[in-house]
Amino acid sequence: MSRSVIKLAVVGGGPKAAALAAKADALARTSGSRFAITVFEPLEIGANWAGNEGYTDGRQPLCTPSERDIGFPYRSGASADLFLMEHYSWPRYCVENRTYSRWVDKGCQPASHSVFSAYLKWVVGKSTAEVVRAAVVRATVQRGMWKLTVKQGKSTTTWDEGFDGLVITGPGPPRRVPGIVKHRDVFDGRSFWLNRESIKARLRPGTPETQIVVIGGGGAAAAILAWLCRNGFGDNETQLVADQAALFSRGESVFENSIFTNDNLWKKMSIENRNAFFERLNRGVVWNSVMSELEKYEQLSLVEGRAVDVRAGKRKELKVLVHHGNATRSLLPCSMVVDASGFDTWWFTSMFSGVAGARRWGSESRAALQKNMRDTLDFSWKLPPVHVPNLSSAVGPGFGSLMCLGDMADRVLSRYLR
- Give me the torsion for CA of 170, 174, 178, 184, rounded to 10°: -160
Distance, first Cα to last Cα, the chain:
8
pLDDT score, position 141: 94
Residues 275-300 have a mean pLDDT of 75
102 Cβ partners below 8 Å, 6+ apart? Answer: none
pLDDT score, position 3: 58
Q: How far apart are CA 251 and CA 253, in angstroms?
A: 6
Quick check: 88 and 96 in contact, CB under 8 A? no
Residues 239-263 have a mean pLDDT of 75
Model confidence at 281, pLDDT cuts 50, 70, 90, reads low
Question: Is the Cα dihedral 308, 323, 273, 287 positive or negative?
Answer: positive
Q: In the predicted model, is pLDDT for residue 245 greater than 80?
A: no
Q: How far apart are CA 149 and CA 142, in angstroms?
A: 13
Please, what is the average pLDDT of the chain? Answer: 90
Per DSSP, the chain holds a count of helices (H) and strands (E) of 15, 19
pLDDT score, position 398: 87
pLDDT score, position 356: 75
pLDDT score, position 43: 95
pLDDT score, position 289: 74
DSSP secondary structure letter of residue 108: S
The gap from C-alpha 215 to its chain's centroid, in whole angstroms, comes to: 19
Quick check: 363 and 237 in contact, CB under 8 A? no
Q: How far apart are CA 333 and CA 124, in angstroms?
A: 47
pLDDT score, position 251: 62
Sheet holding 179-180, edge to edge: 179-180, 306-312, 318-323, 329-334
Model confidence at 166, pLDDT cuts 50, 70, 90, reads very high
Residues 205-220 have a mean pLDDT of 88
pLDDT score, position 2: 43
Structural domains in the chain, sorted by start: 5-172+344-414 (3.50.50.60), 179-248+284-339 (3.50.50.60)
pLDDT score, position 219: 85
Higher pLDDT, 270 or 343: 343
Q: Where are the beta strands (DSSP E) in 12-105?
A: 34-40
Looking from the CA of 9 toward its CB, the CA atoms found within 13 Å total 27
pLDDT score, position 173: 92
Cis peptide before 73 (omega within 30 of 0): yes
Run of H or E residues at 155:
strand 155-163
Residues 119-129 have a mean pLDDT of 98
pLDDT score, position 354: 77
Model confidence at 248, pLDDT cuts 50, 70, 90, reads low
pLDDT score, position 36: 97
Residue 160, Cβ density class (10 Å: 0-12 exposed, 13-18 middle, ≥19 buried):
exposed
Give the model confidence (pLDDT) of 380-418 as tens digits. Answer: 999 999 999 999 988 988 898 899 999 999 999 999 986
Run of H or E residues at 323:
strand 318-323
Q: How far apart are CA 274 and CA 237, in angstroms?
A: 37
Which range has the worst mean pLDDT, 52-56, 77-81, 274-278, 405-409?
274-278
pLDDT score, position 98: 97
27-39: b (≥16 Cβ within 10 Å) or e: bbeeeebebbbbb
Q: In the predicted model, is pLDDT for residue 218 greater than 90?
A: no
Q: In the predicted model, is pLDDT for residue 14 greater than 90?
A: yes
Q: In the predicted model, is pLDDT for residue 259 greater than 80?
A: no
Higher pLDDT, 250 or 371: 371
Closest by CA to 417, choosing from 376, 374, 373, is 376
Q: How far apart are CA 418 and CA 122, in angstroms?
A: 30
Q: In the predicted model, is pLDDT for residue 97 greater than 80?
A: yes
- Kindly state the greatest CA–CA separation across the chain: 68
DSSP secondary structure letter of residue 306: E
